[in-house]
Structure 1
């Protein structure tokens, strides 16, 4: 279902002032969105598509273009807010970059986002699935998942204070990424505040086996995967040599977290709020 775009979140103050991505020595910012704009506005249409026709993973939400589900906060952030209707139907928000970025040979590329998750307690977030991730642009040109390649930069399920960084690749069953589970890495995460999540692809070595992909939380690396770990040159290329586009969303239910129950709360306490997204290249 779609909500009318009338009840703006003007009564809910923005949770942070505008924040810009940090300068990183030796790196240039090749894409950046700081989500400026008035309360209730849509994200920059030159940068983002607002998605409303996604049906995967047996999720139960409907993605909408309504500012009840995805809106600029007015304080330099964007908010993805899951909502439950009186009839028990869930809606939420998802956006995808219009552009894509290719990790270049001989360079280091990093995709980063500064993210806060809503303050509802863990036992009231059953079924919530916020995510910051990237898909191979080949998906937009007829290549099926997971052959297109997927890099999950931050996922959380059911409000549990564990962040997931995962790759999906190769064949739909088994293969180098052990599908459909993928190759996950985890890190403890804080319940409060904005935190910077990143994946960094290092192609400075000409040997694809020695190239690496690392996951960082607030600048600290918590997982590393190399081409040798994947062990398949074309599959590694789908992840680390091919164009990627960026996705931000809050899913509700699905195969992984399971569905919400009567204790699950909707609204701002279960949202994902993003202060900025940036792509860096050396």
Structure 2
């Protein structure tokens, strides 16, 4: 019996290292002058999948960007924490083709930015606590695609708005618009129109995209990206063509949350890259608002 307690005492710190951190998630905030239209705060039991009425869990290899991950529906990769958050967790897995599994969810909900008003979409997100040196090849993202892609459309003509991407653990966030034709085109495909912002730390921050259609003139409408309410990227209709602006600002979109592994932009994991909760993306809520 004494030897049992000695073994457990030695194992206990290791077990704690691999347990998901349970943090009480944030209730989607209310904003003066805006009505909340849709939200998910992931207030479900620990270990369960997000609400299937709200989200599709994507599985398999998607064959994009030369990425390595196999997306799965396993709770190891996609789970609610029990503390009001969603966790998307990458793991090394030698049984897969490229040695990694990860999580990706896409909303069943779609919305079209409202004519004559401001529409706001945001998520509160934090990253796992692994050191930057141990996140080579890790690529979390919160973004939106045009719903036309689900109905026979093509990329990038469907439109894509990346509210937040960050690569390799480096504390820089990127907000990007993709549209039109590949390569080249008015959206500079394949790099898109991109802004960047310093991320203060790996803790909770609010990432937002805001469509301003109050002018009722496509050329003067804007799309803005912000971190914690501070705008770091703005594009205006007049920068593009009417058809590309229509795809980005006048057409239905859906939400995507994922953690990709490797690919042509971040490069690939190396021997120092750590998997698990320390390299996850954790989401407290996703919410959409329209100006009242």
Same fold (TM over 0.5): yes
Distance 1:98 1:185 in 2: 28
Query: Which residue in 1 is equivalent to 2:208?
Result: 198
Distance 1:173 1:18 in 2: 41
Query: What do the CA deviations read for 1:41-92 (whole angstroms, capped 9, x no partner)?
Result: 0000000000003221110000000000010000000000000025671000
Query: Which residue in 2 is equivalent to 1:52?
Result: 59
CA contact (8 A) 1:69 1:93 kept: yes
CA contact (8 A) 1:131 1:152 kept: yes
TM-score (norm 2): 0.91
Aligned mate of 2:167, from 148, 157, 165: 157
2:147 equivalent to 1:137: yes
Distance 1:68 1:268 in 2: 10
Query: Which residue in 2 is equivalent to 1:113?
Result: 123
* 3-state SS, counterpart of residue 99 of structure 1: strand
* 3-state SS, counterpart of residue 219 of structure 2: helix
2:263 equivalent to 1:268: no
How many residues are matched? 273
Aligned mate of 1:181, from 182, 186, 191: 191
2:234 equivalent to 1:227: no
* 3-state SS, counterpart of residue 50 of structure 2: coil
Query: What do the CA deviations read for 1:179-227 (whole angstroms, capped 9, x no partner)?
Result: 0111110000022321000000000011111100001111111111100
Query: Which residue in 2 is equivalent to 1:100?
Result: 110
2:101 equivalent to 1:91: yes
Distance 1:68 1:46 in 2: 21
The runs of at least 4 aligned residues of structure 1 exceeding 3 Å deviation read: none
Query: Which residue in 2 is equivalent to 1:249?
Result: 258
Aligned mate of 1:33, from 40, 44, 51: 40
* 3-state SS, counterpart of residue 278 of structure 1: strand
Distance 1:14 1:274 in 2: 12
The alignment's C-alpha RMSD in Å is 1.4
Aligned mate of 1:80, from 78, 88, 97: 88
TM-score (norm 1): 0.94
